[in-house]
Chain A
Amino acid sequence: MSAILAIRGLTTRFATPDGEVAAVSDVDLDLRAGETLGVVGESGSGKSQLFLSVLGLLARNGRATGSARLDGQELIGLAPESLRRVRGGRIAMIFQDPMTSLNPFLTVGRQLTEGPMLHRGLDERTARARAIAMLERVRIPDAARRLNQYPHEFSGGMRQRIMIAMALLPEPDVLIADEPTTALDVTVQAQILDLLRELRASMGIATVLITHDLGVVAGLCDRVTVMYAGRVVEEAPVEPLFGAPAHPYTRALLGALPRVDADGAHDLVAIPGQPPNLQRVIEGCAFAPRCAQADARCTATRPGLRAHGAGRAACLRLPS
């Protein structure tokens, strides 16, 4: 199947007072039409910055190089005005914190309608009608009345529903959801995940789900990409990845997942150590210092992504 979004050699650097930080290094990634791709990693692994780079939404001190093609159209280095038309119109993004991601000074209706009016050329009445229909679809009752309310009059879960509606209204080809449930209560998390699953089934939009929660990935994604220290360390379809993780980091992440084992005990293993400082150039494998299986080779040579089983992984210890 062809990729709707193809990322090649994408690198993102930030200029900070203490030197340059490579947040994303040489990432290759494909998103295929209609699939849901999980992108997993600890905070600081570069998973959010990767997609902010694609959309040209980096902070002022950030710079992205490499390639990201949407249906063949190059996005990196695209003129701001052309990139703007892609944002929201063809690729929509949902952010982690629904409490601060909606503008507190504008009515929800205003914020829902401005995207479709801009990208689809709708007049305000049509846009409002569609907004009401979409709010109903994301299960916000009494939508027509609530359109005139401000974000602070909604709960956190409701606001994330509004964010999802807002992203879907201009009918994008790609949806990027950046930790859409992290800031929410557990019960609300489950509701939002249900909603995303339902929308996935009914709309079939190619979706990237950025998360640090493997539980979310298991329930929602077709394929998974695991990132560590700005690089992809493993990618595979969901089942093989959970069943037989290739990379030691993936294994460690799965080990850190709380689960009720056969003997009924909760088992939570944190990964020892800290992610590396991205200001320094890392010679070998970035995970080596925390890896139980690492040997001298791992700290000297950087592993590349190689085919392994149903997916690919970047580890020198894997049999070639």
Chain B
Amino acid sequence: MLNYTIRRLVGAVPTLFLIIAISFFMVRSAPGGPFDRERVVPAEIKANLERVYHLDEPLWQQFLRYMGSILQGDFGPSFKYKDFSVTELIWQGFPVSAQLGGAAVLLSAIAGVALGALAALNQNGRLDGILMAGAMTGIAIPNFVMAPLLTLVLGVYLSWLPVGGWGDGGLRQATLPVLALALPQVAYVARLTRGSMIEVLGANYIRTARAKGLPERLTITRHALKGAMLPVVSYLGPATAAVITGSVVIEQIFGIPGIGRYFVQGALNRDYTLVMGTVIFYGVLIILANLLVDLAYGLLDPKVRYD
């Protein structure tokens, strides 16, 4: 297990290198620099600024310098937030984004599995129909539509919940953004769970369990659930990536001070270092999420051996 983890982490190095290289060269080959928008910067000052930020060096040298500092956990200074380093900004936003995203992934997994299993156990019944129509709708309504709609109904019309901000991430503040972020994923997970549950319930080993005279509840919890969970666990990797991507708009809509907002601000302000820093950070998160998912899969499936 430990060996496997280490091997996977080593295997992620080329991916990470590619992420860094692509974002670095894409950002740097774009027309327009970070100081272009500042009003009338004298040539001398501009040259000074560029020297401070090493923008006067050849590109490959800048890249090596950047790689070197990243290895030390330093994403460089932000171009726009003058008093902060990118690392500081990311660590500032991370707890908030992690709470938001973590809650959304957790909700998708729990609610999605519960609803999907419920639908599977009522296969082709009325409840199944209602749940699956709901799931189809959930998939068809993107979270940037869900967010303002939920705000309108629960926040504005009914005044049950605050419509923006994060505060200290309390339940009332967090409910709307987490719901908006999670609902499409809840729908995906529910559909996935239903499908795999139905498949497993038709498996020969479930017939064996029934032939043994196990109570139906035990047949499902002990014999069916684990196998039915495998595709769901695999999907949690892509689900995490989708939640991270979605959090960018959700944080924007609700004015939540997380990494996503820095990413959008950075992109719109041409804050090179901030954008690269956030993209690389997101890349690392997604790689780690996939690793966790594979490890969890290994724990569930005795056929998978990590050694």
Direct A–B touching, Cβ under 8 Å: yes
Show the binding face of A for B, using Cβ within 8 Å.
55, 57, 59-60, 80, 84-89, 92-93, 95, 97, 100-106, 114-115, 118-119, 150, 152, 163, 166
In the bound assembly, the distance between CA atoms of A278 and B202 in angstroms comes to 23
In the bound assembly, the distance between CA atoms of A85 and B215 in angstroms comes to 9
Return chain A residues, CB-CB under 8 Å to B226: 105-106
Show the binding face of B for A, using Cβ within 8 Å.
123, 202-205, 207-216, 222-223, 226-227, 300-303
The reply to whether A105 and B204 form a contact with Cβ atoms under 8 Å apart is: no
The reply to whether B302 and A95 form a contact with Cβ atoms under 8 Å apart is: no
Return chain B residues, CB-CB under 8 Å to A105: 223, 226-227, 300-302
Return chain B residues, CB-CB under 8 Å to A166: 208, 212
The reply to whether A89 and B303 form a contact with Cβ atoms under 8 Å apart is: no
Return chain A residues, CB-CB under 8 Å to B216: 80
Q: How far is the CB of B212 from chain A (nearest CB, A)?
A: 4
The reply to whether B300 and A95 form a contact with Cβ atoms under 8 Å apart is: no
The reply to whether B211 and A92 form a contact with Cβ atoms under 8 Å apart is: yes
The reply to whether A103 and B208 form a contact with Cβ atoms under 8 Å apart is: yes
9 contacts between A and B (CB under 8 A): A85-B213, A87-B210, A88-B212, A92-B211, A95-B204, A100-B204, A100-B205, A118-B212, A163-B208
Given A100-B204, A103-B205, A106-B222, decide whether A150 and B213 contact each other with a Cβ distance below 8 A: no
Return chain B residues, CB-CB under 8 Å to A95: 204, 207-208, 211
Q: Is the interface of B mostly helix, strand, loop or mixed?
A: helix
In the bound assembly, the distance between CA atoms of A87 and B215 in angstroms comes to 11
Q: Which residue of B lies closest to A81 (CB)?
A: B215
The reply to whether B302 and A152 form a contact with Cβ atoms under 8 Å apart is: yes
Q: Looking at B123, B203, B207, B211, which has the most chain A CB atoms within 10 Å of its CB? A: B211
The reply to whether B213 and A89 form a contact with Cβ atoms under 8 Å apart is: yes
Query: Which residue from A57, A89, A92, A106 sits with its C-beta under 8 Å from B207?
Result: A57
Q: How far is the CB of A134 from chain B (nearest CB, A)?
A: 14
Q: How far is the CB of A299 from chain B (nearest CB, A)?
A: 38
Return chain B residues, CB-CB under 8 Å to A97: 204
Return chain A residues, CB-CB under 8 Å to B303: 104, 150, 152
In the bound assembly, the distance between CA atoms of A105 and B203 in angstroms comes to 13
In the bound assembly, the distance between CA atoms of A57 and B55 in angstroms comes to 74
The reply to whether A103 and B211 form a contact with Cβ atoms under 8 Å apart is: no
Q: Which residue of B lies closest to A87 (CB)?
A: B213
In the bound assembly, the distance between CA atoms of A249 and B12 in angstroms comes to 65
Return chain B residues, CB-CB under 8 Å to A152: 302-303
The reply to whether B214 and A102 form a contact with Cβ atoms under 8 Å apart is: no
